[in-house]
Each structure stands twice: as C-alpha cells, then as structure tokens.
Amino acid sequence: MCGIFGIYNVAEASKLTYLGLYALQHRGQESAGIASSDGTKIHSHVKMGLVSENFTPEVFHELPGRSAIGHCRYSTTGTSSIKNAQPLTVSYCRGQLAMAHNGNLVNADLLRSILEADGSIFSSTTDTEVIIHLLAQSKKNTFEEMLVDSLKRVKGAFSLVVLTEKELIGVVDPWNFRPLSLGKKDNGYVLASETCAFDIIDAEYIRAVEPGEMIIINENGLKSIKPFKPVKQKKCIFEFIYFSRPDSYIFGQSVQKARKALGAELAKESAVAADFVIPVPDSANSAATGYASESGTPYEIGIIRNHYIGRTFIEPSQSIRDFGAKIKYNPVKDILNNKDLLVIDDSIVRGTTSRKLVKMLRKAGANLVHWRISSPPITHPCFYGVDTPNRSELIAASHTIHEIEKYLKVESLCYLSIDGMVKAVGGKKEDYCLACFCGEYPVQFNTEPDKNGFER
Ligand code: AMP
Ligand code: SF4
C-alpha cells in the first residue's frame, strides 16, 4: 500500500508535493520521496522514514521546478529498504523519468525473469522497476506510446504517477483496484491517491481517474485516453473499510459516508444491548458513529490511541504484559468501569490486537464485552497491494467465528456480512474486489505469457 501524488505547472511544486504526502502519510510510513522537474532535468530526494523527517528546508533547494511527484511507501512486494523506495528516477534512451506506484502486479516475477534472461539488470526488487524496464525496451515512437506498451504487458494493480522533464502522467489499471483522483490548482493540475491531499494545498477536486484511464498533462493541457482493453472494474473495497482517510473521496465517493454506513449496517445485522458503543481508534471511529446512531446506543471514547509512536522505542528489560498494545492504546477506566460494552473495530487480521484490547478493557473494569467488526472475516491474503499476512496467519482462514469469539474471550463476536458491506458502500457487488473476504481473485497470477508478455 502506498500514497502517490503528482503536480504540474504550479509554483513550489516540491513543497506542495511534500504537503500532499504529509496528508497521505497514513498510506505508508516506511519511506518518502519526491522527484521534481525544472523543465530540463529531474531532481530527486528519497529516504527511508516519515515525510516530516525526510524533508528539511535545505532539501527543497535540490528540488526545483513547477512539476513534481511524490510517494510514501508501505512495502507489499520487495523488502523495506532504500533501494525499493520511490519515486524511482531513471535515465533512458529519451531522457529521464520518475515513477511512483501504488498497487501490486501479479505477473511481475514472471516478467522480471523474462527481462533478466534478455539481459536487464535490476537494482531493486519492486514491481515498479519491471514497468520501467519494459518501457525502456519498448520500440514505440513517443513516450506516451512506450508507457502504454509497457503497461499492456503487466497484470494487476497499478495506480501510477509518472514525471518526465516536460509532462506528468497519471494512470490507473483497467480493474481500478487503487484510487487516484484528479484536481486543479491555480493554472496547473494535481493527482493524488486520496483527496485529503488536495485539501491541504487548496486544490480543487475534479473527479476520480477512471478504470484504465491515462491522463497526460503537458504544455498542451490535459488529455485523457483509454488505451487498455476494458475489463470489469474491481475497486478495492478495503480502501473504504480501513485504508483511506475518512475525509477523503476515493473512486468518486466519500469514505466517511461509506464508513458510517458500514457501522449502521452492522447495527442492523447484529445490534445487542450495551451501555456504550466504543470504537477501536482511529480506524473504527466513523463506523462506531454509524452503529451508535442506528442502534440508539450512546457513543463513548473508551480507548485512547497514542499517535506519536516513533519507529524506535525502548522496551523495558523487565517483562510488561501486552507491552505492544500498551504503547498504542490505553483504556479510559472511569468510562469503562462496570459497563457493558459494544466495541467496534474495522477488521481482524491475526486477532492479536483484539485479544489484547479485550484483556485491557476487562482490567479497566468492563463488564460484558461484545465485539463487532465493520467488515466480513478476512480469510484470504491480498495480492493487489494491501499488506496482509499469509493465509496461515489470518485467524478467520482457519477458525470459525465461534472459535475466534472464544479466543478473544468476548461475550459475542459478529462480523458484517459481505452483502451488508456492499450495500453500505454502495454500487454493485461485481464492481468491487472482495477477494480477501471470499477468495475469488479477479486477476489470476502465474499465467504463462504469450510471446509479447501479456496482451490484454
Ligand atoms: P490484528 O491484531 O492482526 O488482528 O490486526 C487488526 C488491526 O489491524 C485492526 O484494528 C485493523 O485496524 C488493522 N489492520 C487491518 N488491515 C491492516 C493492514 N493491511 N495493515 C495494517 N493494519 C491493518
Ligand atoms: Fe482490496 Fe481485499 Fe481485493 Fe486486496 S483482496 S484489493 S485488500 S478487496
């Protein structure tokens, strides 16, 4: 999972990109980078760490120009190291380009082995570099055609922003797995994974980039093409459940509205008497408000989350029970003591967080603890860009809801149904990827390539 941002023809482009990335920080905290163009040359600064740590005032002197792209990374393929940090900036036969990618390709390994057999030398383990090698080898005439040519051979999730000396390109795969939106700023344009990145720089939201759409922005203005064979769109529904910020629009829809509706639908399916509805902050806050208003149960803040956890902390040498959870969460004892709770979380992955939280709430004096999840059980890993563990580590892959309920030590556990989730988010079931909840993967992997790689 990653956050991507691009801006064209706006003063202080790299500083605005920094602000955009700052708003997208929740999408990836491992590395952050910006590449800018001054019209003749691409400049770049990419480092491991948070956006706010990586960009000092001096750094912006090295990032001149009116166009820029940025990336914050949460590794899904490739290790977490500087060689995999983005944007990836390269020189090729026509000049320079920088690319920032959100998503995961399902045929990257296959294409990489074909390219390596042909003599390509890779410097990273990212899918993104596969696209760059394909592009560099393309025999087409223009940059735009070369990019299309390379993207026709890849399969899976890609939302990309690409910067050349003279243009900015945004493109979304035909399945539309990951969100990308288009906005306007002064006389220029912006692209971002989520619209919260537009708000911070006072850019105006125009629309979501469409499935399979490529937007080319240069001195001639903005051009939109749809170069790929259309397929049934498969938007990632998990973006609404957990990943995106509630104040964003993704795929043209409000995340907050969807998340509240998920909570309301959950209440319709599984309401139970309780003194308070308590969210696991922050990811379940919005769903809990929806649940509370639908069920009529008062909403309370019973767990506080520490937002200032750095990557390095000193663990006590003496053992403190549930230390990991304590760094992040603390219960509000006065609220919880002797109360029956309806706790809402957005999802259960391994089950470790929920189990620790239940223990914490009991210790704080909670009486009955009912656990509600504003999505269905996660039974399958994601191969399209969300970091999920192997199937063997997903608790719902091998345990019934009743077994999980016992493991968490709660009075009751209910998940939202798949139909309830789709109803809440809106639109047709077939428009969404639901693979992590049902195992029906919309794009298969390890297919044999034809002589050109993959043509769609
Ligand atoms: P776990 O302890 O493994 O069950 O983790 C569950 C928590 O992780 C939930 O509170 C979610 O908000 C959060 N979560 C869900 N999906 C992801 C993800 N892909 N990456 C990081 N955290 C996640
Ligand atoms: Fe999103 Fe789940 Fe599909 Fe991955 S498998 S794209 S997380 S809905």
Number of domains composing the chain? 2
What average pLDDT does range 178-190 have in this prediction?
Answer: 98
What average pLDDT does range 379-406 have in this prediction?
Answer: 95
237 lines ligand 2 (CB under 6 A): yes
Asked if residue 422 belongs to a domain, the reply is yes
Burial class (CB in 10 A: 0-12, 13-18, 19+), 387: middle
Name the pLDDT band for 232 (thresholds 50, 70, 90): very high
Atom 1, ligand 2: which residue's CA is nearest? 236
Q: Which residue has the higher pLDDT, 138 or 312?
A: 138
- Residue 243 Cα to ligand 2 midpoint, Å, equals 11
Q: What is the pLDDT of residue 454?
A: 42
- Ligand 1 pocket test: pick from 347, 357, 373 the residue with the most ligand atoms within 8 Å of its Cβ: 347
pTM: 0.95
- Cα torsion 418, 423, 424, 430: sign: positive
29 lines ligand 1 (CB under 6 A): no
**Same-domain check for residues 266 and 339:** yes
What average pLDDT does range 90-103 have in this prediction?
Answer: 95
Atom of ligand 2 nearest to the CA of 386: 7
User: Which ligand is nearest the CA of 348, by number?
Assistant: 1
236 lines ligand 2 (CB under 6 A): yes
User: Which ligand is nearest the CA of 103, by number?
Assistant: 2
**Same-domain check for residues 31 and 153:** yes
Summarised one tens digit per residue, pLDDT across range 412-421 is 999 999 999 9
Taking the C-alpha atoms of residue 293 and residue 389, their distance in angstroms, rounded to an integer, is 34
The answer to whether residue 86 scores a pLDDT higher than 50 is yes
The answer to whether residue 309 scores a pLDDT higher than 90 is no
Taking the C-alpha atoms of residue 281 and residue 278, their distance in angstroms, rounded to an integer, is 9
Summarised one tens digit per residue, pLDDT across range 54-79 is 999 999 999 999 999 999 998 766 67
Asked if residue 403 belongs to a domain, the reply is yes
Give the three-state DSSP class for 141.
Answer: coil
Boundary of a domain, candidates 197, 217, 233: 233
User: Which ligand is nearest the CA of 259, by number?
Assistant: 1
Asked if residue 238 belongs to a domain, the reply is no
DSSP per position, 226-248: --SPP----EETHIIIIIS-TT-
Name the pLDDT band for 330 (thresholds 50, 70, 90): very high
393 lines ligand 1 (CB under 6 A): no
Q: What is the pLDDT of residue 451?
A: 44
Q: What is the pLDDT of residue 312?
A: 59
Taking CA atoms, 276 is separated from 228, 271, 297, 306, 373, in Å, by: 50, 12, 6, 22, 16
**Same-domain check for residues 179 and 287:** no
CATH of the domain at 63: 3.60.20.10
**Same-domain check for residues 190 and 130:** yes
Taking the C-alpha atoms of residue 128 and residue 84, their distance in angstroms, rounded to an integer, is 9
Asked if residue 288 belongs to a domain, the reply is yes
Asked if residue 315 belongs to a domain, the reply is no
**Same-domain check for residues 45 and 170:** yes
Atom of ligand 1 nearest to the CA of 349: 4
The gap between the terminal CA atoms of the chain, to the nearest Å, is 25
**Same-domain check for residues 16 and 87:** yes
163 lines ligand 2 (CB under 6 A): no
What average pLDDT does range 161-189 have in this prediction?
Answer: 98
Rounded to the nearest 10 degrees, the angle between the axes of helix 127-137 and helix 108-117 is 50
What average pLDDT does range 229-246 have in this prediction?
Answer: 97
* Residue 310 structure tokens: 């750095």
Q: What is the pLDDT of residue 211?
A: 98
Q: Pairing mode, if any, of strands 181-185 and 188-192?
A: antiparallel
Summarised one tens digit per residue, pLDDT across range 311-322 is 656 667 777 777
Least confident of 9-23, 100-114, 237-251, 301-315: 301-315
**Same-domain check for residues 273 and 157:** no
Asked if residue 440 belongs to a domain, the reply is no
**Same-domain check for residues 145 and 284:** no
- Ligand 2 pocket test: pick from 386, 425, 441 the residue with the most ligand atoms within 8 Å of its Cβ: 386
CATH of the domain at 336: 3.40.50.2020
Q: What ranges in 75-205 are assigned the alpha helix state H?
A: 108-117, 127-137, 143-151, 196-199
**Same-domain check for residues 59 and 101:** yes
Which residue among 2, 196, 382, 436 is the active-site one?
Answer: 2
433 lines ligand 2 (CB under 6 A): yes
Asked if residue 249 belongs to a domain, the reply is no
Give the three-state DSSP class for 316.
Answer: coil
Structural domain boundaries enclosing 188: 3-233
Q: What is the pLDDT of residue 445?
A: 75
**Same-domain check for residues 264 and 156:** no
**Same-domain check for residues 129 and 20:** yes
The answer to whether residue 324 scores a pLDDT higher than 80 is no
Asked if residue 181 belongs to a domain, the reply is yes
Q: What ranges in 125-181 are assigned the alpha helix state H?
A: 127-137, 143-151
**Percent of the chain having pLDDT more than 70?**
95
The answer to whether residue 3 scores a pLDDT higher than 80 is yes
Atom of ligand 1 nearest to the CA of 346: 12
Q: What is the pLDDT of residue 285?
A: 98
196 is catalytic: no
**Same-domain check for residues 53 and 200:** yes
- Residue 123 Cα to ligand 2 midpoint, Å, equals 28
Atom of ligand 2 nearest to the CA of 435: 5
